[in-house]
Every structure is written in C-alpha cells, then in structure tokens.
Amino acid sequence: LSQNYPNPFNPSTTISYTLPTKSDVKIRIYNLLGQQVRMFDEGTQTAGEHFVVWDGRTDDGTAVATGLYLYRLETGDFTGSKKMVLLK
C-alpha cells in the first residue's frame, strides 16, 4: 500500500497498491471518528500494481470536509492503512 498522491489533496487523490498474488480487494476510507465515508469494492484483482482515485466524496456523493482521513486496504491475507489530508 503506497502513500496517496497528491497529499494533501484537493479535489482528488490516487491510492496505489501492489498485490503479490490474485486477491479480493476492498479499500475503505474513514474519518477521524472512525466512520466509514467511502468504500471501493474492487473485486478480484490479478497480481501487480493497481490504483483507485478518490474524489473526496462519500458513497452517496456528498463532499467531505477538510481534514485528516485514513484509508485501509483489505485483501484476503493483508490489511494496511495510511493517513491522507484533504485541504479545501
């Protein structure tokens, strides 16, 4: 799981990750209260480099506030997280 780029970001950022083997992938984004604001269900992906672009919006399309967010990569045998900052 790589650091998002750009960081800080506005209005969008790219989250990159590398899979060593074929895996089911989910990326979840949380605010500092621990509330999930966005979830990307990427399904089963092949080994290699992949990315998602987050537009700073929730699952229902609402723009999130300026602040610190956590993003978490979940696969069958790995979970990792990093911090990112949205500045408006």
Query: 41: which strand partners?
Result: 26
DSSP summary character for residue 36: E
Class of the CATH-defined domain 13-86: mainly beta
Q: What residue spans define the domains of the chain?
A: 13-86
- The Cα 66–Cα 44 span in angstroms is 32
Q: Kindly state the helix (H) or strand (E) to which residue 27 belongs, with its residue range.
A: strand 23-30
**For the CA atoms of the chain, what is the radius of gyration?**
13
pLDDT in tens, the chain (88 residues): 999 999 999 999 999 999 999 999 999 999 999 999 999 999 999 999 999 999 999 999 999 999 999 999 999 889 999 999 999 8
Report pLDDT for 25: 98
- The Cα 43–Cα 69 span in angstroms is 23
Report pLDDT for 74: 98
Report pLDDT for 88: 87
